[in-house]
Chains A and B, each alone.
Chain A
Amino acid sequence: MVVNEKIAVEHGLKSDEYKKICKLLKRTPNITELGIFSAMWNEHCSYKSSRIHLKKLPTKGKKVIQGPGENAGVIDVDDGDAIVFKIESHNHPSFIEPYQGAATGVGGIMRDVFTMGARPIANLNSIHFGSPQNKKTKNLLRGVVHGIGGYGNCMGVPTVGGQTSFDSSYNGNILVNAMTLGLVKRNKIFYSKAAGLNKPVIYVGSKTGRDGIHGASMASASFDDKIEEKKPTVQVGDPFTEKLLLEACLELMAGDSIIAIQDMGAAGLTSSSIEMASKGNLGIEINLNKVPCRETKMTPYEIMLSESQERMLIILESGKEDLAKKIFDKWNLDFAVIGKTTNTKNIELFFDQKQVAKIPVNTLVENSPMYDRKWKKSKLPKKIKYDRSKLKNLKIKETLKKILSSPNICSKEWIWQQYDHTVMGDTIQKPGGDSGVVRIHGTDKAVAATVDSSATYCWAHPLTGGKQVVCETWRNLISVGAKPIAITNCLNFGSPEKEENMGEFVECVQGIGEACKYLEYPVVSGNVSFYNQTKEIGIKPTPAIGGVGLIKNYKKMITMNFKNTGNQVLVIGKTEGHIDQSLFARTVLNEKNGPPPEVNLFNEKNNGETLLNLIDRNYIKSAHDVSLGGIITAISKMCIKGNKGIELKIPKFLINETEYFFAEDQGRYIIEVSLEDLKNVTKILDKNSVHYDQIGKIIDKDLIINQKTKVTIDELKSYNTNWLKDYMV
């Protein structure tokens, strides 16, 4: 087939990008070469629209061992231990084929982590669906949850946390972001940088099939009416093979045979081989006849672009082939020497004794397009005006019922009970808390992880929203007693070719950067997913942030369930009564406009660090951050989990009761302290200038407000737990 511009455009390249390819090669590429360029230059692999902005994120810190640019980020958790983690999107395939899309998303992120030598110890996910009334939502949710469980459960890695939201902006583009944490000794981390000449290039894992061809290109375009036809671009997962691959790789990694290793994820053999060569400033030569294929008569084009799962590419020390092969034989996995490293700085492919491609590596990587796309700055919306006198007529119990049972607040137990969250025997905080917590096996330490996003805030004002998401993960970690260390981000946006969407991206990233810098909470890995768009309609900007923190002594971990009758309950942080963009505004006032709550980074840091200090002194019996739904929602969840009641007396404020309860001001926590400790706690809070309200005491049963309104714990439970269960029937 003779390549021309039309074919290039069909591969998702722009006309000028095609011209650039011809110029770089000084000739017309053949079809295999064109395929390789299209795979490397698409948005998903090249970050061509985002690179210029991502550079501004803070990525360094005392605890950072490896920042962005590798398969995953790595942080130091003391005593020679390190945590490898990353979040990644699998949005487009999950909409087309929810089970496989979600499953392979989970498989892909776990490979990114164990490629670096780390054993995965926890999975999390952030999943977003269209409005519950949308006819596709239920099946997509069911399929995605089954897929995530199907893969993670089989791998034997606990899924310890996550987030699920519903919003009509996801009607045509759901989001599936998967995050994995792995544990490694810091002196046994493996990287993807090739080194040395004539070193054997090894292919291990599953055979290559025709699945997933052009997966990365598909994920770099908006959806249209013909989306069903894209099904063949979705990969098919086999978690069993991945489990074997994990064990085999870790067994090989225990020795010293590996120079570099890279999983075959998006754009398969193409991106893995080119990335390794590029990082090592080397060439690579591959004989495609040696690649284990699942189907007959696969062409070089198909072999290079297949996104078959559960495959790895390894550059081995010369002479270690037999030793390595033995391990992969033991685990019944394919093992093939398919090529070698060279000094040509080209990627050279051979098939049936003929050279079928020869491309300078730098043209694919350094010379890949980079765009400084036009973007539009967002204005801070004006505050909404609502009739405050009407609030007085609202029955608090009815309102609370509405909020607790709303799809974005209600218990997600139906989802996480389908995930094995206790395998590996170290899960000490299960899903449903502020963060998932797993012990570092055999030590007193534990790692906390959370994943959050606030699309509504980001949509209203991207800069504030970006900051807020980072702060929310920070609070979720602190609420369990973990010191926040670093984040990974999954940036889900619409088309970068639209100025509004690009603006949302730029400003969210700016907000994330500002918060991370101030909180000394760097970004160590991440992923960008653009084109979450169907025709002209894009999703709300949804950066999902995965935060990771360390608990030095896991016995000091905090949970959110109220503990003891008679204990005092305090709100840390100031409640100004910010109703705009709150769940209350949307569900009760039916108001979608207004600015999101302001983020005050000084208060965030001060409040959080003070709370950590209190936790360290053993003053805190339970804690929970205040987020969606405000104070009363947070307290209700603490009552439900602890099976305890509370007698609330609202301090006399200028703002009214409803605003006090449902406002979504930032930087706040609910804490439980004993009567004896109260004085010491308030002393420390005062000393650190942390605002607090003493709002009640724990009682045996019922949530009682100002001696007037009474809600039983069973009522709270039924408000909170029934919606999703009933919806999924």
Chain B
Amino acid sequence: MKSSVITFPGSNCDRDMDVALTKFGFKNKMVWHNDQELPKSDLIVLPGGFSYGDYLRCGSMASKSKIMHSVINFAKSGGLVMGICNGFQILVESGLVPGVLLRNKYLQFVCKNVHVKVDNKENTFFKNLDKKVLEFHIAHNEGNYFCTSDQLKEIEDNNQIAIYYCDQNGNTNDQINPNGSIKNIAGIFNKEKNILGMMPHPERMIDESLSGEDGSIFFRNLFNNIK
């Protein structure tokens, strides 16, 4: 299985993602933002970081970079695209997934382990996952997901919510919401569910010495689903 990770100026989780994808069997390539064409890939990943310093708005300048034309075409023709953290922000700014990501409710960067509930397993990203609650890690300043009530209705009607922040038993409530996201949303799909944007970083949870191992479960499952 082939994957590509895009490096924008200011990306800083590109290497971590490369390490994770490679560890779980992907043949990964790093792609420079200024390239025009994507290598042949089964999965494109927009990694975390601070593309263009998060200036203007997180992800907005990266969404206009050269490679994004190809990424958008790839996504629109059904290719699998995953945006993590800043990558999620880029997806939002590109219009590939609905909504916006506001500054965290408490106006602070937040870095910690969180639990997320996987609701929808009818998609390539989470199909066959044998856990309902995963422990992931977040590290962001602008992860407060927001959309209009019409959009929310549409998202819910189409089962586009991928993961919710929850407690370890899978209960969602305001108390465990780390950033103020509407409905505790931590990640969403596009309508067709070939594009996933999420704030948590599964690539930081890929062996027992790190914060946890649920990232391994996620990547292993993803690889098997694409295979």
Give the interface of A toward B (CB within 8 A). Answer: 146, 149-150, 153-156, 238-241, 243-244, 331-332, 416-428, 430, 439, 554-555, 557
Contact = CB atoms under 8 A, between A and B. Distances in A.
B204 interface: yes
Could you say which of B9, B15, B206 has the most chain A C-beta atoms within 10 Å of its C-beta? Answer: B9
B137 interface: yes
13 contacts: A146-B109, A149-B109, A240-B53, A241-B53, A243-B50, A418-B108, A418-B111, A421-B111, A422-B139, A422-B204, A422-B210, A423-B16, A424-B16
| 4 residue pairs, one from A and one from B, having the closest CB atoms | A156-B12, A240-B53, A425-B16, A154-B50
B209 A554 contact: yes
Nearest to B20: A425
A155 B52 CA distance: 12
Interface in B34-67: 48-50, 52-55
Given A154-B54, A239-B50, A423 B109 contact: no
A155 B53 CA distance: 9
Contacts of A555: 209
B210 A428 contact: yes
Interface string B1-18: 000000001101101100
B19 to A, nearest CB: 6
B93 interface: no
Contact of B53 (A239, A439, A554): A239
A422 B12 contact: no
A417 B110 contact: yes
Contacts of B16: 423-425
A208 B121 CA distance: 53
Contacts of A331: 9
B16 to A, nearest CB: 4
B153 interface: no
Interface residues of B, number: 30
A36 B49 CA distance: 39
Contacts of B12: 154-156, 243, 423
A331 B16 CA distance: 20
Contacts of A417: 108, 110-112
A418 B110 contact: yes
B211 interface: yes
Contacts of B204: 422-423, 425
Contacts of A557: 209
A240 B50 contact: yes
A428 B207 CA distance: 10
Contacts of B137: 422
B214 interface: no
Contacts of B110: 417-418
Contacts of B52: 240
Contacts of A154: 10, 12, 50, 53-54
Contacts of B54: 154, 240
Most buried by A among B19, B20, B53: B53
B203 interface: yes
Nearest to A333: B9
A91 B35 CA distance: 43
A244 B10 contact: yes
Nearest to A155: B12
Given A155-B12, A238-B53, A427-B210, 6 more contacts: A156-B12, A241-B53, A243-B50, A418-B109, A419-B109, A423-B139
Given A153-B109, A154-B50, A418-B108, A243 B10 contact: yes
Contact of A425 (B50, B53, B210): B210
Interface string B113-138: 00000000000000000000000010
Contacts of A423: 12-13, 16, 48, 139, 204
A447 to B, nearest CB: 14
A422 B209 contact: no
Nearest to B209: A428
A332 B48 CA distance: 20
A621 B54 CA distance: 43
Interface in B187-227: 201, 203-204, 206, 209-211
Nearest to A437: B209
B209 A425 contact: no
Nearest to A442: B19
A89 B116 CA distance: 40
Nearest to A425: B16
B135 to A, nearest CB: 13
Contacts of A244: 9-10
B211 A422 contact: yes
Interface in B75-120: 108-112
